[in-house]
Amino acid sequence: MYRLLVVDDEENIRKVICEYAQFHGWETVQAKDGMEAVEIARREDFDVIVMDIMMPRLDGFSACKEIRKQKDVPVLMLSARGEEYDKLFGFELGIDDYVVKPFSPKELMARLQVIVQRNTPRPVPVANADRYELGGLVIDFAGRAVWVNGKQKDMTPKEYELLFYMVRNKNIALSREKLLSEVWGYEFPGDDRTVDTHVKMLRSSLEEYRTHIVTLRGVGYKFED
């Protein structure tokens, strides 16, 4: 279970973010200003922090600096302003993402999922792990081939890449944004429908093993074995 600290002087915004996070099984803690956030972060550990910029007593940038003196915790900044200067200053402080108000809670959660996954240590893969088997599903990473019940499947290049990435990151929630950036690349101009379309094609190719690609409502997908 991930732990999220939500820092904003607007109670309604804190409430909405916490409701969405709790719906996804996260534990949440709230702080109404930067000063309170610093005190809470000193006592408790979090996987990620959502931090508003414009707050009384202590602004988000200053609070982020103080927290980073104590702990290296990922931070997503919220702001009603979208000026390039604010974004650049935030990234210079080492924040992980920047979202401008008003925002989509679903998109915010997807971004938070990406942040925590990026910052979660992963086990070192076993050497020469070039083959994956699950019942009648056989994936040869090195040979770029997939078999279902002894029949080799003919898939598009992106289907292979999408399947290989999801299997190598099996049992991990992957947002559509994460899949777009990792499989298609950061400069790809597509959107969520691109991922959804290829997942549909991939499920068709996997036949009875299609159920191992699980849809995470409002987030993305994961491959469960």
According to the model, what pLDDT value does residue 209 have? 93
Query: Given phi > 0 = left and psi -120 to 50 = alpha, else beta, which region is 131?
Result: beta
Question: Buried (b) or exposed (e) across 55-76, using 16+ Cβ within 10 A?
Answer: beebbbbbbbebbeeeeebbbb
According to the model, what pLDDT value does residue 192 have? 67
> What is the β-pairing status of strands 220-223 and 137-140?
unpaired
Alpha-carbon dihedral sign for residues 114, 119, 123, 126: positive
Write down all domains in the chain, each with its CATH number in brackets.
Answer: 3-119 (3.40.50.2300), 131-223 (1.10.10.10)
> What is the β-pairing status of strands 48-52 and 27-31?
unpaired
Q: Which residues of the chain have pLDDT under 50?
A: 123-128, 188
CA gyration radius, the chain: 20
Alpha-carbon dihedral sign for residues 221, 118, 32, 89: negative
> What is the β-pairing status of strands 174-175 and 220-223?
antiparallel
pTM above 0.85, yes or no: no
According to the model, what pLDDT value does residue 189 have? 52
According to the model, what pLDDT value does residue 89 have? 80
Is-contact 35 60, C-beta < 8 A? no
The tens digit of pLDDT for each residue in 42-100 reads: 999 999 999 999 998 899 999 999 998 888 899 999 988 767 777 778 877 778 888 88
